[in-house]
Amino acid sequence: MENLYPIPDDLSADVAVAMVGTGATTLGLLHATQPTVDDAVLVLSAAGGIGTLLVQSLHREGIFVVGAAGGATKTAQVRDNGADIAVDYSDPDWPERLASAPRVSVVMDGVGGRIGRQALELLAPGGRIILYGWASGSPTEIATTDLISRQLTATWALGPRMVPPGGWDALRSTSLERAATGEFRPLITRFPLSEAAAAHAAVEGRTARGKVILTV
Ligand SMILES: NC(=O)c1ccc[n+]([C@@H]2O[C@H](COP(=O)([O-])OP(=O)(O)OC[C@H]3O[C@@H](n4cnc5c(N)ncnc54)[C@H](OP(=O)(O)O)[C@@H]3O)[C@@H](O)[C@H]2O)c1
């Protein structure tokens, strides 16, 4: 019973499902990172479930946000969602496209691999990277010399010390409230349960947009 949360009025059950997981994680990441208007934040997989909510939240706070995603359709979506700059990291030279942009001071990295490493290289001296997953298959490689030579801070997110007082319960409740008030506008791709295999294929093939939900 301890994992039951009341669904606010006007919120559908499928959106609530997205909020309890992905929305709460987004809030935990923002709490752990504490970005301010003095930051320029680079969000990887910015068209994904968490990425969509991160871009919205940062934009709402007036923080400069660079959203990076794979392909033109996704980058257009990231721009529409409020990113100041949207960049397509399926182009291996994507960092060069940010040469005239404000220097990145925070990286939100749920992708890892080559893309995570390129994002790390973009960080300004004194910058910070928060790691919360490796959708690419491997976490971003970071050496102590990276941290020392550029005074960087690298943090693994979402451990017990990273969530605010009230813990995950508070994050889940806040997330549901934000969706109910429209502060969070989650992007959801729905599949009927009978098409679960297609849903998995869409996730693996990177064609799904936002949070993928199976409906019954
Ligand atoms: N949702 C949660 O509650 C939660 C909690 C803790 C941690 N995480 C972690 O946070 C990260 C993002 O989670 P999410 O739920 O918001 O997922 P998501 O971003 O909606 O989906 C993952 C995205 O990663 C990108 N990606 C890059 N390389 C990929 C590859 N080789 N194969 C497949 N996708 C690849 C794809 O976007 P592009 O096509 O744009 O590259 C894909 O859409 C993941 O690492 C996840 O493990 C999620």
pLDDT of residue 77: 96
With a cut of 90, say whether residue 3 has pLDDT above it.
no
Nearest CA to ligand 1 atom 46: 133
pLDDT tens digit sequence for 58-92 = 999 999 999 999 999 999 999 999 999 999 999 99
Q: Is pLDDT larger for residue 201 or for residue 209?
A: 201
Ligand 1 neighbour 137 (Cβ under 6 A): yes
pLDDT of residue 162: 81
pLDDT tens digit sequence for 141-150 = 999 999 999 9
pLDDT tens digit sequence for 96-115 = 999 999 999 999 999 999 99
pLDDT of residue 193: 96
Average pLDDT for 186-193: 93
Nearest CA to ligand 1 atom 45: 133
pLDDT of residue 24: 95
Q: 176 near 151, Cβ under 8 Å?
A: no
Please state the domain extents for the chain: 32-162
Nearest CA to ligand 1 atom 12: 110
Has domain 32-162 been given CATH number 3.40.50.2020? no
Ligand 1 neighbour 110 (Cβ under 6 A): yes
Cα separation values, 24 from 89, 131, 174, 178, Å: 26, 16, 8, 10
With a cut of 70, say whether residue 1 has pLDDT above it.
no
161: confidence class by pLDDT, cuts 50, 70, 90: confident
Burial of 2 (0-12, 13-18, 19+ CB in 10 A): exposed
SS (HEC) of the chain: CCCCCCCCCCCCHHHHHHHHHHHHHHHHHHHHHCCCCCCEEEECCCCEHHHHHHHHHHHHCCCEEEEEECCHHHHHHHHHCCCCEEEECCCCCHHHHHCCCCCEEEEEECCCHHHHHHHHHHEEEEEEEEECCCCCCCCCCCCHHHHHHHCCEEEECCCHHHCCCCHHHHHHHHHHHHHHHCCCCCCEEEEEHHHHHHHHHHHHCCCCCEEEEEEC
pLDDT tens digit sequence for 204-215 = 999 988 899 999
Nearest CA to ligand 1 atom 47: 133
165: confidence class by pLDDT, cuts 50, 70, 90: confident
**Ligand 1: nearest atom to the Cα of 68:** 40
